[in-house]
Amino acid sequence: MAKDTELDIARNIRLVEWLKSEILTSVAEIYRLLANGIKGSQEALADCLSSMIVAAYLLGKRLGISYDTIGRRIESKIRLGIVEEHDVEKYFGDLTSLGEYCKTGKEG
């Protein structure tokens, strides 16, 4: 194996590990913020959630999964949750509103 290939593999492994730790760090920060109460934490929560989403997309890319595939799977999970009347949909309509947001880019 060529030196460049070995370096790329090692770099990719380090990046995958870093992305995994970023996701876990964000989850831990969400737990910490929620333990302290969400009042006044909306911006910090939004930051953690967006960091998790970005890291998940990048991790998928490093593992050979295209952004498009991830996006399609998200849409599929939203549709399935609506059809199966998941509690978050049944009681709050959140999956329908998320599906609309994914289609239009606007909250409704």
Residues 91 and 38 in one domain: no
Residues 84 and 56 in one domain: no
Residues 40 and 77 in one domain: no
Distance between CA atoms of 42 and 36, rounded to whole angstroms?
12
First to last CA, the chain: 54
**Average pLDDT estimate for 78-106:** 94
Residues 59 and 96 in one domain: no
Residues 49 and 10 in one domain: yes
Burial of residue 95, with CB atoms counted within 10 A of its CB: 0-12 exposed, 13-18 middle, 19 or more buried:
buried
Q: What is the number of domains present in the chain?
A: 2
Residue 27 sits in which domain range?
Answer: 1-65
6-46 tens-digit pLDDT: 788 999 999 999 999 999 999 999 999 999 887 778 999 99
Q: Give me 31's structure tokens.
A: 């737990």
Distance between CA atoms of 74 and 68, rounded to whole angstroms?
10
